[in-house]
């Protein structure tokens, strides 16, 4: 699973953010608990399900279902079977293989099927359930009505435990099965599911039944179904079909976006030593999706296909999303977490793998660039709440998982790392695993005890926060470093008694690089104490640069006060991107230092990799305008749109008349969406007289994922410019953000915006009513409650009225 970063939401601090959910764990013994306690017990082995669905109704969000189940009893005297089945499933009948009717009872999400007589251990049981499903759209299945650029469709989402809301099953990952999905769909629609398409049968009235067969076992949360009018674009990897299913209107955009897939399959197959393990690979785009979901052999993806201009901005979709979900076909689908406290085994590897792909394709800089981005995310999450990778509800499994695995790969070297990863995939092929299982495979493969690494990085939280000082002894030709770890194990237990541990000492090998007039001196050492002293000998002349942890092999923070000359030298000569980013942050704290300004300006305009130029451009406003403006002028002509966008955004912070002029120039002439969006934001900050005209143009400028329109909406919300209320209202049918801007205005007391929002609850378009309800969540609770109570009696759309009634009840309960 993967969601994009909420970049836009972070910008729009005035607008409401979705609440973060976290699950607390009850047991303080994390290492023991993670590996077993969270797994679920059951007394049968689920073997196979044939899931047949028909008569989909988008108005009543309903369908008719039949599920035939095969399972094997795992104990003597088994007389009843406990399945998970959502409350929206009304069981019409249960029938044994013999044809005999079976008794059932259904309470909340639990369905009990009573067998005619007890069966013994190892006995096979077959039975069929017929049911009517009335789905609360969004739990298990999401039904979407047609709207502009979005065909009518439905899609499933199982992870973590929502598939039982649309078919009765064992809804936990520690039991794998094979399955078939038969879906009968209206004329013009396709049904996409897992495994091979074995049959397509025409029915009455143009209906079609698609028969999919997933013949290799996987977890039930990975069962998936999408029903939509779709265009199919065919590709392949050797003899494995690789299919892209997109809206007909998007069919010309599919190849450029998705055709990277066979090459990614190739690289992942070679790295893991496991050729792509499924019958086919499909990627299907749907509306209102949170990002991507790795349903086995049939990934579901959001419908944000980039147009040709958007590729200049390195779309997240191709850079991260496609390789992330593909990686899950090995890590998550082929070997699956045994329970939800080990989900990092799925997500950490899936987030790690794209960096490995990009290294294969483009080398070390793109690899470091990828993980530097993960590092920024990691630090942001870590600052909110440090949680171990292996813990229930861990908040940091994506970036920290990627970074810890990258560190492990560094530590072991690629050959040993991939041999061990192959061992792990082989030991648990088509099965499940825990964090401890990963350790066992790595130890068995490498022959090296790695429990210390697991204890520090998987079962504990935090990271080493180094404070380093150095002193040079000219007579002895030595440089002495004192590296102190300053992190403190100060976390408190939560309300359940769970307390996570931050190690006060992390152990790792470290390399020191000392630059001198006569060349670099390199020293390897072992971090083994909370305060370590490392003496580097053979430093014949005064250092010109000192790099602690050369190559950035340790996940860390670093506090190391150095002369500007050292930093400037390192910025020019250190190939590592994390190191350069660290240096840039140090230099940006020296606004009055001409040498620092010159080093940053030089990096912004001539560093050998765009990420360094981009980050340097983003640091320029710290320095005097006479340094910043010439460097930003050059950066705005960079070949990389990321550098130009960073420069355009930075202009907004430079208080100089030339900045506004440059921003207007970028807005008027740049071809990149992200550069124009950034320039619009800068103009809104720099040019009170000229901004309204640019914002008005921005509102009606089409761009990928509404990048430019969103920049205009953010500028309106930030400047609190209520003259745009009517223009914003005109966009409420196009995308969700306009309603949220109205919500921000209403929360600040603007009655015009509030009146429009209230009226939008009666809009004839269901999606507008839905987005309006979401936007109202930005209002303070008391205001929201009174708005909803006033609106409720007049609402004529049943869906909105029901949703409003639920909201009122929930808000009243909170008071
Ligand atoms: Zn994922």
pLDDT at residue 494, as a whole number: 82
pLDDT at residue 4, as a whole number: 86
Between CA 541 and CA 519 the distance in angstroms is: 10
pLDDT digits (tens, 9 = 90+) for 635-648: 999 999 999 999 99
- Split at pLDDT 50, 70, 90, the class of 493 is confident
pLDDT at residue 33, as a whole number: 59
- Split at pLDDT 50, 70, 90, the class of 496 is confident
- Split at pLDDT 50, 70, 90, the class of 31 is low
- pLDDT over threshold 50, residue 23: no
Cα 437 to averaged position of ligand 1 atoms, centre (Å): 20
pLDDT digits (tens, 9 = 90+) for 324-361: 999 999 999 999 999 999 999 999 999 999 999 999 99
User: Are the beta carbons of 683 and 694 closer than 8 angstroms?
Assistant: yes
Q: Give the pLDDT mean for 299-309.
A: 98
Cα 428 to averaged position of ligand 1 atoms, centre (Å): 19
Residue of 431, 448, 430 lying closest to 439 (CA atoms):
448
Cα 244 to averaged position of ligand 1 atoms, centre (Å): 19
Q: Give the pLDDT mean for 368-387.
A: 96
Between CA 382 and CA 388 the distance in angstroms is: 10
Q: With 0-12 CB in 10 A as exposed, 13-18 as middle and 19+ as buried, what is 456?
A: buried
pLDDT at residue 97, as a whole number: 95
pLDDT digits (tens, 9 = 90+) for 169-204: 999 999 999 999 999 999 999 999 999 999 999 999
Cα 351 to averaged position of ligand 1 atoms, centre (Å): 7
Cα 662 to averaged position of ligand 1 atoms, centre (Å): 41
Residue 625 CA to its chain's centroid (Å):
38
Cα 328 to averaged position of ligand 1 atoms, centre (Å): 7
pLDDT at residue 589, as a whole number: 98
Cα 715 to averaged position of ligand 1 atoms, centre (Å): 33
Between CA 284 and CA 193 the distance in angstroms is: 10
Contacts of 435 (CB under 8 A, 6+ apart): 34, 35, 342, 344, 345, 389, 390, 454, 458, 459
User: Are the beta carbons of 399 and 377 closer than 8 angstroms?
Assistant: yes
Four-point Cα dihedral 767, 768, 772, 773, nearest 10: -30
- pLDDT over threshold 50, residue 59: yes
What is the residue-wise DSSP string for 490-527? -PPP-TTS------S---EEEEEEEE-TT--EEEEEEE
pLDDT at residue 15, as a whole number: 37
Contacts of 560 (CB under 8 A, 6+ apart): 466, 467, 468, 469, 470, 546, 548
Which neighbouring-strand residues pair with 234?
Answer: 243
Average pLDDT, the chain: 95
Q: Give the pLDDT mean for 84-94.
A: 98
Q: Give the pLDDT mean for 718-739.
A: 96
Instruction: Indicate the pairing of strand 281-286 with strand 292-293.
Output: unpaired
Residue of 491, 498, 501 lying closest to 392 (CA atoms):
498
pLDDT at residue 9, as a whole number: 40
* Residue 612 CB neighbours (<10 A): 23
Cα 260 to averaged position of ligand 1 atoms, centre (Å): 18
- pLDDT over threshold 70, residue 704: yes
Which helix (H) or strand (E) element contains residue 53?
strand 44-57
Cα 3 to averaged position of ligand 1 atoms, centre (Å): 8
Token pair recorded at residue 174: 């520690």
Between CA 562 and CA 468 the distance in angstroms is: 10
pTM, 2 dp: 0.95
Summary count for the chain: helices (H), strands (E): 28, 28
pLDDT at residue 20, as a whole number: 30
- What sign does the dihedral 502-507-509-512 (CA atoms) show? positive
Cα 342 to averaged position of ligand 1 atoms, centre (Å): 13
Cα 223 to averaged position of ligand 1 atoms, centre (Å): 15
pLDDT at residue 68, as a whole number: 98
- Angle (CA) 75 175 196, round 5°: 130
Cα 272 to averaged position of ligand 1 atoms, centre (Å): 18
Q: With 0-12 CB in 10 A as exposed, 13-18 as middle and 19+ as buried, what is 238?
A: exposed
Cα 343 to averaged position of ligand 1 atoms, centre (Å): 9
Q: Give the pLDDT mean for 222-235.
A: 98
pLDDT at residue 260, as a whole number: 98
pLDDT at residue 25, as a whole number: 36
Q: Give the pLDDT mean for 47-76.
A: 98
pLDDT digits (tens, 9 = 90+) for 116-138: 999 999 999 999 999 999 999 99
Token pair recorded at residue 123: 């006995």
pLDDT digits (tens, 9 = 90+) for 588-612: 999 999 999 999 999 999 999 999 9
Cα 352 to averaged position of ligand 1 atoms, centre (Å): 10
Between CA 314 and CA 540 the distance in angstroms is: 46
pLDDT at residue 495, as a whole number: 82
- pLDDT over threshold 70, residue 293: yes
- pLDDT over threshold 80, residue 716: yes
Lowest mean pLDDT among 23-32, 281-290, 378-387, 449-458: 23-32
User: Are the beta carbons of 720 and 748 closer than 8 angstroms?
Assistant: yes
Cα 326 to averaged position of ligand 1 atoms, centre (Å): 9
- Split at pLDDT 50, 70, 90, the class of 629 is very high
- pLDDT over threshold 50, residue 688: yes
pLDDT at residue 16, as a whole number: 33
Q: Give the pLDDT mean for 24-40.
A: 62
């Amino acid at each position: 699973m993967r969601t994009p970063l909420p970049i836009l939401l972070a910008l729009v601090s005035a607008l409401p953010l979705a609440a973060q959910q976290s699950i607390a764990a009850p047991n303080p013994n994390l290492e023991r608990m993670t590996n077993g306690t969270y797994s679920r017990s059951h007394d049968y082995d689920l073997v196979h399900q044939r899931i047949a669905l028909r008569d989909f109704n988008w108005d009543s969000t309903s369908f008719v279902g039949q599920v035939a189940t095969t399972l094997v009893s795992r104990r003597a005297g088994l007389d009843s079977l406990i399945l998970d089945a959502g409350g929206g499933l009304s069981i019409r009948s249960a029938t044994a293989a013999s044809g005999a009717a079976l008794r059932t009872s259904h309470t909340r999400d639990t369905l009990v099927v009573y067998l005619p007589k007890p069966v013994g251990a190892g006995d096979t049981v077959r039975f069929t359930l017929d049911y009517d499903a009335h789905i609360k759209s969004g739990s298990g299945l999401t039904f979407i009505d047609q709207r502009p650029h979005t065909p009518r469709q439905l899609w499933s989402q199982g992870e973590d435990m929502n598939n039982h809301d649309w078919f009765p099953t064992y809804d936990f990952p520690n039991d794998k099965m094979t399955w078939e999905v038969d879906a009968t769909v209206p004329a013009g629609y396709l049904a996409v599911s897992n495994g091979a398409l074995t049959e397509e049968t025409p029915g009455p009235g143009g209906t079609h039944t698609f028969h999919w067969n997933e013949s290799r076992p996987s977890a039930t949360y990975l069962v998936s179904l999408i029903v939509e009018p779709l265009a199919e674009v065919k590709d392949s990897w050797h003899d494995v079909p690789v299919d892209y299913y997109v809206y007909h209107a998007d069919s010309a955009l599919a190849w450029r976006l998705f055709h990277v897939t066979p090459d990614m399959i190739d690289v992942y197959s070679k790295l893991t030593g496991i050729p792509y393990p499924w019958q086919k690979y499909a990627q299907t785009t749907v509306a209102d999706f949170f990002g991507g979901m790795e349903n086995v052999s049939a990934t579901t993806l959001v419908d944000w296909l980039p147009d040709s201009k958007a590729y200049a901005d390195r779309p997240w979709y191709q850079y991260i999303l496609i390789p992330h979900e593909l990686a899950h076909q090995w890590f998550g689908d082929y070997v699956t977490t045994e329970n939800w406290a080990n989900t990092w085994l799925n997500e950490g590897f899936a987030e790690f793998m794209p960096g490995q792909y990009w290294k294969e394709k483009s080398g070390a800089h793109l690899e470091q660039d990828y993980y530097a981005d993960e590092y920024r995310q990691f630090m942001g999450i870590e600052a909110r709440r440090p949680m171990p990778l292996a813990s229930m509800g861990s908040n940091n499994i994506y970036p920290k998982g990627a970074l810890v695995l990258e560190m492990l790969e560094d530590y072991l070297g690629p050959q040993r790392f991939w041999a061990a990863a192959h061992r792990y995939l082989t030991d648990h092929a088509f099965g499940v695993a825990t964090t401890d299982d990963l350790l066992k495979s790595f130890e068995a493969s490498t022959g090296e005890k790695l429990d210390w690494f697991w204890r520090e990085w998987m079962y504990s939280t935090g990271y080493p926060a180094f404070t380093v000082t150095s002193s040079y002894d000219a007579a002895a030709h030595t440089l002495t470093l004192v590296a102190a770890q300053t992190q403190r194990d100060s976390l408190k237990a939560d309300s359940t008694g769970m307390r996570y541990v931050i190690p006060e000492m992390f152990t790792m090998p470290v390399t020191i690089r000392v630059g001198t007039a006569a060349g670099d001196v390199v020293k390897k050492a072992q971090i083994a104490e909370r305060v370590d002293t490392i003496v580097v000998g053979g430093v014949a002349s005064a250092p010109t640069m000192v790099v602690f942890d050369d190559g950035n092999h340790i996940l860390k923070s670093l506090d190391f006060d150095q002369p500007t000359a050292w930093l400037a030298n390192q910025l020019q000569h250190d190939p590592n991107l994390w190191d350069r980013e660290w240096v840039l942050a140090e230099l940006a704290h020296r606004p009055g230092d001409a040498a620092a300004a010159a080093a940053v300006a030089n990096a912004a305009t001539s560093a050998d990799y765009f990420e360094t130029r981009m980050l340097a451009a983003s640091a320029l406003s710290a320095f005097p305008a006479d340094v910043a403006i010439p460097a930003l002028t050059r950066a705005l002509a960079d070949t990389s749109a990321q550098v130009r966008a960073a420069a355009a955004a930075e202009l907004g912070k430079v208080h100089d008349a030339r900045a506004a002029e440059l921003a207007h120039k970028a807005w008027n002439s740049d071809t990149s969406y992200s550069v124009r969006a950034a320039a619009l934001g800068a103009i809104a900050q720099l040019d009170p007289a000229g901004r309204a005209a640019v914002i008005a143009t921005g509102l009606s400028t089409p761009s990928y994922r509404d990048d430019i329109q969103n920049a205009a909406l953010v500028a309106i919300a930030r400047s609190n410019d209520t003259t745009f209320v009517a223009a914003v209202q005109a966009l409420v049918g196009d995308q969700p953000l306009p309603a949220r801007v109205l919500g921000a205005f209403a929360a600040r007391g603007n009655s015009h915006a509030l009146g429009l929002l209230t009226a939008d609850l009666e809009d004839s378009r269901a999606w507008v009513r839905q987005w309006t309800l979401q936007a109202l969540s930005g209002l303070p609770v008391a205001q929201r409650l009174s708005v909803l109570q006033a609106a409720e009696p007049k609402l004529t759309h049943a869906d909105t009225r029901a949703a409003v009634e639920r909201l009122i009840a929930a808000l009243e309960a909170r008071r």
